[in-house]
Amino acid sequence: MNKLWAGRASGKVDEIAEDFNSSINIDKRMYREDIKGSIAHAEMLARQKIISRESADNIISGLKSILQDIDSGTLEINSSSEDIHTFVEQILTERIGEDGKKLHTARSRNDQVALDLRMYLREQIICIDSSLKHLINCLNDCSRNTIDDIMPGYTHLQRAQPVTLGHHLAAYSMMFLRDRERLKHVYNTTNISPIGCCALAGTTYTIDRDFESSILGFYDISRNSMDGVSDRDFCIEYLSSLSIIMMHLSRICEELILWSSWEFGYIEFSNSYTTGSSIMPQKKNPDIAELIRGKTGRVYGALIAMLTIQKSLPLTYNKDMQEDKACIFDATDTVINSLRVIAPMISTMTVKKERMLLAAKEGFINATDLADYLVKKGVPFRNAYKISGEIVSECIEKHLTLEEFSLSSYKKHSELFDSDLYDAIDLKNCVNRRNSVGGTSHQAIVDELKYIEKINKEEMGCCDD
């Protein structure tokens, strides 16, 4: 195809170089944004009398027909064009003739590509946000169903204090709520229009940037033309937010993988989210959770790639920036697909309450409560801690849990022990006594889940397609 920039340059670009230079196979997914942006541009040009109303109408109906034809599959995006902007303009001119050549007045592909990318990301942010919202709702349902299911809480992956699965899962809801909050901020940074910055220095035409940006739904316009065409901070913020989402997903997946093992046995995934082994008949592999954990690396990679693309770039547009889209699109797909698969995987898993309770009982995780019992009877905490530690040692030696250790044996360690100590170390009581805000008691979790539900109700918008 003819080059948009034919004129100055003569001679043919090397075929391999041309292929290398082309981005259409990546940026074709922004065709809707590109066409909608061009329609707004034609409207503005006509309103400002830079082109005639007739030309604008001609351009707009041409653009609408292109959009319709790509949507319906009658027009295939041809990879012989350099990029999506070139493709749309070339087809437009083929369809409507000379008026098509007027569209690119007071515009450059530099502000056009930045505009398209911002429009595209606005939609993706809304999409990711609504997937996060759905995941939080699923987690909240699971939390409600497991609000009293006791399990060991861990520090250093060592059994530490009793918690409930409901409480544990709600911790993840909190993380995903923060992710939603971060996306709101990224949406605002993204929602600034660069169109009208042109190649880098603005334009001599009497354009109306505010009008054009407002019909495209932007909140504001960029205020420096050089910054406008070369700013990719919004991409970096977007990928940072996506990386944090994946980091959270990888943490919950790691826990679910551990919990689904024979060693833990706290949960079992539905067969729809596991695979078997080709040679070991007993295996049920948590592939989906592992893949989400693994795909986290790709999204981190995209963030590092984007940061590195922008590093040391002189103002303003440089072709390096064309590399932004490949990593952004890949990260977007990865996050959306991960969120899409994890929600039903969690909703359909089976919780093995008895195994969790057994692990809690065998873990001496009520040793802190045993020490607290003595403190309440007037023993200084350090001494109570030492006595409890000695009792734990003896229990380990004798293969007993604290609940199985007899009162007379307790009394050998301290005369202050009485039969009410068994109430004090009862796991249910241990959990329910931690009634501080954000604690493990039934009531504290009910309040926590209500809070999550309330914040999670907020809507950013809904997906286009």
How far is residue 128's CA from residue 223's CA, in Å, rounded to a whole number?
29
In angstroms, give the least distance from the CB of 331 to ligand ARG: 17
The minimum distance between CB 38 and ligand ARG, in angstroms, equals: 14
* Sequence-separated (6 or more) residues with CB below 8 Å from residue 157: none
Cα separation, 256 vs 258, whole angstroms: 5
Q: Within positions 98 to 127, which residues make up the interface with ligand ARG, using CB under 6 A? A: 109-110, 113
Which two structure tokens, joined as six digits, stand for 428? 């249910």
Residues in binding contact with ligand ARG, number by CB under 6 A: 10
Minimum distance between the CB of residue 8 and ligand ARG, rounded to whole angstroms?
Answer: 12
Taking CB under 6 A as the binding criterion, the range among 40-48, 92-100, 318-326, 428-436 that sits at the site for ligand ARG is: 318-326
CA 361 to chain centre: 36
Which string of x and - marks every residue 4-23 that binds ligand ARG (by CB under 6 A)?
Answer: -------------------x
Of 53-92, binders to ligand ARG (CB under 6 A) are 83
Backbone phi, psi, residue 164, to 5°: -120, 155
Least CB distance from residue 24 to ligand ARG, whole Å?
8
CA 211 to chain centre: 33
Cross-strand bridge partners of residue 220? 192
Nearer to ligand ARG, 226 or 258 (CB): 226
Q: How far apart are CA 9 and CA 3, in angstroms?
A: 10
CA-CA-CA-CA torsion sign (129, 134, 139, 143):
positive
Q: Is 27 in the site for ligand ARG (CB under 6 A)?
A: yes
* Residue (328 or 387) nearer to ligand ARG, CB: 328
Secondary structure element (H or E) that encloses residue 215, with its range: helix 209-215
CB 151 within 8 A of CB 356: yes
Q: Which of 191, 310, 322, 332 binds ligand ARG (CB under 6 A)?
A: 322
Q: How far is the CB of 98 from ligand ARG (least distance, A)?
A: 24
For residue 112, the tally of other CB atoms under 10 A from its CB is: 26
Looking only at residues 257 through 286 of this chain, which bind ligand ARG when binding is defined by CB under 6 A?
Answer: none
Q: By C-beta, is 255 or 324 nearer to ligand ARG?
A: 324
CB 182 within 8 A of CB 241: yes
Output 120 or 317, the one with its CB closest to ligand ARG: 317
CB of residue 21 to ligand ARG, shortest distance in Å: 9
Task: Please choose, from the candidates 74, 133, 88, the residue with its C-alpha nearest in 3D space to the C-alpha of residue 454.
Answer: 133
Distance of CA 16 to the CA centre of its chain: 37
Contact present, 452 and 441 (Cβ < 8 Å): no
167 or 325, CB closer to ligand ARG? 325
CB nearer ligand ARG, residue 124 or residue 322 = 322
Q: Where are the alpha helices (DSSP H) in 48-164?
A: 53-72, 84-96, 109-145
Cite the active site residues: 156, 277
Structure-block tokens of residue 398:
């004798």
> Considering only residues 381-420, where is the footprint of ligand ARG by CB under 6 A?
none
Nearer to ligand ARG, 27 or 179 (CB): 27
Shortest Cβ 45–ligand ARG spacing (Å): 20
Residue ranges in contact with ligand ARG by CB under 6 A: 23, 27, 83, 109-110, 113, 317, 319, 321-322
